[in-house]
Structure 1
């Protein structure tokens, strides 16, 4: 999974107090406890903007902010990242650091059509953990800030959708190969896959807890069906990728 060499001109380096997140995200006591337990420090590390990356802004993406989170635990509760995304009125890319390793995370974030002052935040996609000193690559080539954001998100969802990569478009099926595939479609498919992965894990946990034989048989059947659905969600893209 790619780690990016963020441009020096985009360096920001401002520590964000957790209290600022609480103020702007409207966090409750339970969420504050999650931050205390799981988050050591939040740094606004880079500001990708027209003046720092030499790309023009678009209507939906004026800037992209990079937040580096030093975590106390190897996993962060989904509500932690959602709270930060809710508090910051720009698309975010997260660098999560823990135990000498780092990985990227991001959610597709866009202004609400009903209220442009509000943002719609999708599921967060996580890259693989890599050593902190892993080689980094330059930002993907893009024509504007919106295209850059799309390429950065594509890099995150690629691990869920085989063959996706960082190309500006990805075929979903042979019948659709002639038309461009929108970011929204790719994100929707990646979210569906991620949701189904969680469903498979949820059923596995139920199976591990169940002791009665007849109930285990029923749960096993449910697990097979869930795995088959997950396979159907990814099979189309695997076959499309194989023919590229």
Structure 2
């Protein structure tokens, strides 16, 4: 399932967010402000997904979800820009990034800090590939509350990025992630942790391949090849059928 959703008209907000408000709330330094100037054209608060706009109850961890549409000046965007916006806004964010008639989605899992409930922990960013602006949107997902909606909005993003890194993994089930009969559903946190581990291991493999390409000595190439085989085996384990170590009910 695509992560490009058709948000309810009742949740449309359409308010421009001034960059200086982001600077103020994110504590932006000169370098970060320069990134915004070079890479960001406009930030629009497109949708406000909240109990009063979509008739779903808030939860302790997810009160509202905001959708920000960010018009870019270039096809690349430094992740520090997204992280600054996430720091400035206390609610979970879904980003629609647009440039030259195309759109891509990005989001990081944002949760309350266990040490300080007034602070938010922001994870790594997941993103889709670029799509045409007129790409048909997927119907807005059904959910019981704001937390389950947040899972359903993030789930396809996590799946899409992992599928690009490891082709053939297939479409992941929608949150809450289901499992075989007698096996507990996989939580969003566990799914994201797995996706981040896969991403890190895929990067390790690319770095090892680069070392092999640079190495001229045969003995060293043999040793690095062995390291590459081990890394590939670890990646295969991560993408295996039951990487979460689920235990069936007795």
TM over 0.5: yes
Contact 2:3 2:154 in 1 (8 A): no
1:42 aligned partner: 43
RMSD: 2.4
Residues 1:76 and 2:81 are matched in the alignment:
no
Deviations 1:76-115 (A, max 9, x none): 2222211111111000011111222112111111111211
Residues 1:22 and 2:27 are matched in the alignment:
no
Partner-residue secondary structure (3-state), 2:240: helix
| Aligned partner (choices 184, 187, 193) of residue 189 of structure 2 | 184
Shift of 1:128: 2.4
Farther off after superposition, 27-36 or 51-60: 27-36
Residues 1:228 and 2:233 are matched in the alignment:
yes
Q: Aligned in 2, Cα 1:223/1:168: closer, same or farther, shift over 3 Å?
A: same
TM-score by length of 1: 0.85
Q: Aligned in 2, Cα 1:17/1:205: closer, same or farther, shift over 3 Å?
A: farther
TM-score by length of 2: 0.83
In structure 2, distance between residues paired with 1:25 and 1:33:
14
Matches within 5 A, 1:107-186: 107-159=108-160, 160=162, 162=169, 163-171=171-179, 178-186=183-191
Residue correspondences, number: 234
In structure 2, distance between residues paired with 1:156 and 1:99:
22
Shift of 1:50: 0.7
Partner-residue secondary structure (3-state), 1:120: strand
Partner-residue secondary structure (3-state), 1:125: strand
Partner-residue secondary structure (3-state), 2:152: helix
Contact 2:3 2:153 in 1 (8 A): no
Matches within 5 A, 1:78-117: 78-117=79-118
Q: Aligned in 2, Cα 1:204/1:10: closer, same or farther, shift over 3 Å?
A: farther
Q: Aligned in 2, Cα 1:204/1:133: closer, same or farther, shift over 3 Å?
A: farther
1:200 aligned partner: 205
Farther off after superposition, 98-107 or 31-40: 31-40
In structure 2, distance between residues paired with 1:228 and 1:32:
43
Could you tell me which runs of 5 or more consecutive residues in structure 2 were left unpaired when the two chains were aligned.
164-168, 244-250
In structure 1, distance between residues paired with 2:192 and 2:11:
26
Shift of 1:134: 0.5
In structure 2, distance between residues paired with 1:18 and 1:204:
41
